[in-house]
Amino acid sequence: MAKVAPRTLSGFMELLPADQIKMEKMMETLRKSYSVYGFAPLDTPVIESAEVLLAKGGGETEKQIYRFSKGDSDLSLRFDLTVPLARYYANNREKLPVPFKAMQLGNVWRADNPQKGRFRQFTQCDIDILGDDSSLAEIELISATAAMLSKILAEANLSEFTIHVNDRRMLAAAALSAGFEADEIGGALISLDKFDKIGLDGIEKDLLA
């Protein structure tokens, strides 16, 4: 039998114990900070039906999900925590409080080209308020995040940070004004989100592809 050299796959991260302790401490700070604001922890399966994950995605998302078949099942590793949350809420909304304040920390997977600051497996932290579309819910999300950042950054002797707020409805209106069709807006905004990584030239290439 040929010898196989042990190696970590590109884009996947393993931490040494000292760094793992720091990671666990940060995640505990996240949980405690958000729980003060009443966000309830939940944990969804890492594998979902591909049909569910692609229901609102497609396009760029379809290219980046890890998708596989087992028997008659078409399955995928979760791409983010948002779609699993929507599926969870649809399944359980009659048993949940209104509004439902959810907190989820977990790994997600993307079949992407690994590079500095960009991994194929990484941890996301999401907080969401479902059943309340008022501006007060948005303010609470921002306040909870500001409180969490203050606690984490204080340990690194950092006291100042800036939170940027945007509204995809404004971006969607701008895209319509720029000549995009309604069904093209989602893909256009996904490309725009990658500005920091690919720049204007990359966005133009992405939109013309």
Q: pLDDT tens across 115-168, in order?
A: 777 899 999 999 999 999 898 999 999 999 999 999 999 888 888 889 888 787
Q: How far apart are the first and last CA of the chain?
A: 46
Please work out, in degrees rounded to the nearest 5, the angle formed at the alpha carbon of residue 119 by the alpha carbons of 143 and 8.
Answer: 135
pLDDT confidence of residue 45: 96
> Pick the residue with more confidence: 193 or 57?
193
Alpha helices, DSSP H, located in 9-104: 17-36, 50-53, 60-64, 82-92
Q: What is the mean pLDDT of residues 165-175?
A: 83
Record the tokens describing residue 208, joined without a space: 């013309």
pLDDT at residue 182 greater than cutoff 90 = no
What's the pLDDT at 183?
81
- CA–CA distance, 154 with 11 (Å, rounded to integer): 30
Which of 89-98, 163-172, 175-184 has the highest average model confidence (pLDDT)?
89-98
CA 126, CA 84: separation in Å to the nearest integer?
11
With tokens 């606690």, the residue in question is 151
For residue 207, pLDDT beyond 80 = no
Residue 117: per-residue pLDDT: 74
**What pLDDT is stored for residue 60 in this prediction?**
67
Q: pLDDT value at position 57? A: 55
The predicted pLDDT at position 56 comes to: 63
